[in-house]
Structure 1
């Protein structure tokens, strides 16, 4: 039996293209406007926990600043 996608994954399937290229504040506003949580991850060294939340979108910022990719947390 296949599990349904988590809420953030379902939202991201529809809106990922809308996030790419946005400035950080605009991307966060779009995610939070949907009732989800946003976590911005900047390029560079660092360690992150593997915390899983059903309502989080990770926004991966490019070195130049705009959002380069997104994933459901």
Structure 2
């Protein structure tokens, strides 16, 4: 069975009870993973933002093209 997090209601739902047309996150293997969907997404976004800042701080100058 898979679990889903309903962003609109804040409820964890199963495949059998999953709302249609709602903003859903998942599927997750466990109810606990689904319950923590927003925190997991926030942590991944913060990690990606930090990687972007590191990338940008290194500079992204392209090599000059020969004409």
Identify whether the pair has TM-score above 0.5, normalized to the shorter chain.
Answer: no
**What TM-score results when the alignment is normalised by the length of structure 1?**
0.20
Q: Indicate the structure with greater strand content.
A: 1
Query: Which structure has the bigger radius of gyration?
Result: 2
**What TM-score results when the alignment is normalised by the length of structure 2?**
0.21
